[in-house]
Amino acid sequence: MTTRGVLAAASLIALALPAFGPAPAHAQTQREKWNVPTEPFHIIGNVYYVGTAGLSSFLFVTPEGDILLDAALPESAPQIEANIQKLGFRLSDIKYVLNSHAHFDHSGGLAQIKKDTGAKLVASEGDKSALEGGFYLGSESVKAMSAPPVKVDRVVKDGDALTLGGFTMTAHLTPGHTRGCTSWGWTVEDGGKSYSALDFCSATIAANRLVDPPQYKGIVADYRATFETAAKMKVDVFLAPHAEFYHLAEKRAKIAGGAPNPFIDPGEFQPFIAKQKADFETGLAAQEARAKAKAAAAN
């Protein structure tokens, strides 16, 4: 086993440790809930979980260096860095940091981690302005949703590939949730078999205005195009920026119990997408109704 392989074996020990930190004495805000600490662990193949209890951050290990995907909140950066080191990996081995989308709960820690690792940041053109400006596109004045600005070193388009150490990740643009929402896909090996894996950016409405005026021009068309794209995707291993999207805690518990890897589930992604699409149409109808009522009241 290589030195990096020996170090990676430390991740197995993490499975036996408590998954979550102690709850604070006061009532938690959503931000605090997202940032509850959790132990890092091995997911599948060369993929490791190094995020918080609520916000995903994934480490991809290759013979020529590592790739980190997403960095949660600004205050999450020390946790992510500590989790990487707990698994026996070095921050200096991270060559690229990828971003799924420019929202503060996934891009907030990028600036600190980029500074501490010297890695290059890879993101889409649609989200570049928000990342470098540190704002939530379309709600620039809402400081509660701002994040530390961070320079994008490489801009990717739909279908662009990033290769390191013989491992390739492909950018799939799935806009709507943000203008440049990027779902990253790759092939993962497990038990001698190959699987199609995807970190799906998101297609929730979140704080987005769909009408009156829209968060950004063309947002509704973008969401609908993303649902069409996602409906055609074959995904064996479904991951996402929010832990609850893909039932992280439940799957982790099953792995710890010795069950076959629960992250391999070809039937999980499409029902998830169908639910997000239905929720979007319901939310859009509600926003349109409110806009219509507001217009009527103004006349």
pLDDT tens digits, one per residue of 282-297 = 999 999 999 999 999 9
Tell me the pLDDT band of 15, cut-offs 50, 70 and 90: very low
Give the pLDDT confidence score for residue 13 in this predicted structure.
30
User: Does residue 25 have a pLDDT over 70?
Assistant: no
Residue type, 212: D
Look at 15 and 80; give whichever has higher pLDDT: 80
Q: Is the pLDDT of residue 62 over 90?
A: yes
Q: Is the pLDDT of residue 71 over 60?
A: yes
Q: Quickly name the fold that domain 3-203+234-267 has.
A: Metallo-beta-lactamase; Chain A (3.60.15)
Distance CA 230, CA 98 (A): 20
Please, which pLDDT band fits residue 27 given cuts at 50, 70 and 90? confident
Q: What is the mean pLDDT of residues 28-36?
A: 96
Taking only the tens place, the pLDDT of each residue in 207-241 is: 999 999 999 999 999 999 999 999 999 999 999 99
Q: What is the mean pLDDT of residues 161-170?
A: 98
Residue boundaries of the structural domains of the chain: 3-203+234-267
Average pLDDT estimate for 263-269 = 98
Is the omega angle on the peptide bond into residue 241 within 30 degrees of 0, that is, cis? Answer: no
- Which pLDDT score, from 0 to 100, does residue 117 have? 98
**Separation in Å, CA 161 to CA 98, 156, 167:** 12, 8, 10
The DSSP annotation for 144-185 comes to: GG-------SEEE-TT-EEEETTEEEEEEE--SSSTT-EEEE
Residue 23: count other Cβ atoms within 10 Å of its Cβ. 10
Average pLDDT rounded to a whole number, residues 153-169 = 98
To 5 degrees, how large is the angle CA 125–CA 130–CA 136? Answer: 135
Instruction: Please tell me the pTM assigned to this model.
Output: 0.91
pLDDT at position 259, please? Answer: 86
Euclidean distance between the first and the last CA atom of the chain, given in angstroms as a whole number: 74
* pLDDT > 70: percent of the chain: 91
> Where are the alpha helices (H) located in the chain, listed in sequence order?
3-8, 10-14, 30-34, 77-86, 104-107, 110-117, 125-133, 219-231, 248-256, 269-298
Average model confidence (pLDDT) across the chain: 92
